[in-house]
Amino acid sequence: MKDLLVRFLITMDKDAKLKQQYLKDPEGTAKAFGLSDEDVQLCAKNDVNAIKGRCEAEGADNLEISHSK
């Protein structure tokens, strides 16, 4: 696995219970998943932009601007 933070989000996106735990206790849930101290702090601070950046979660460059006839 390249990035445990991404794996954490992938797991959470399919697990409603884990997501609820995270929303109640981001720091504790991130730590329990085994994230690095640095990544635990991103979660604790709810630094959504940094986390999104790590995930490269927005598929903007995949979108098509179709001008075809």
Partner 1 sequence: MKTESTGSLVVVGTGITVSGQMTLITESLLKTADIVLSVVTESALINLQMINSNVVCLRNLYEQGKSRALTYQKMTQRIVDEVKSGKKVVAAFYGHPGVFVNPSHVAIKQLKSEGYSAEMLPGISAEDCLVADLGLDPSHYGCQSYEATQFLLRQYTLDPHMMQIIWQIGSIADFTHNKHRTSHPGLTLLRDELLKYFSPSHKIIIYEASTIPIAAPRIEYLELRDLAAVIPKPITTMVIPSKGLPEFDMKTMTKLKLTPAIFEQQLFG
Interface residues toward partner 1, by CB under 8 A: 1-3, 6-7, 9-14, 19, 22-23, 26, 43, 46, 48, 51-52, 55-68
What is the distance between the alpha carbons of residues 15 and 4, in angstroms, rounded to a whole number? 16
For partner 1, the closer CB: 37 or 62:
62
Phi-psi region of 34 (alpha: psi -120 to 50; beta: other; left: phi over 0): left
| Helix (H/G/I), strand (E/B), else coil: 28 | helix
Shortest distance in whole angstroms from residue 16 CB to partner 1 = 9
Shortest distance in whole angstroms from residue 41 CB to partner 1 = 14
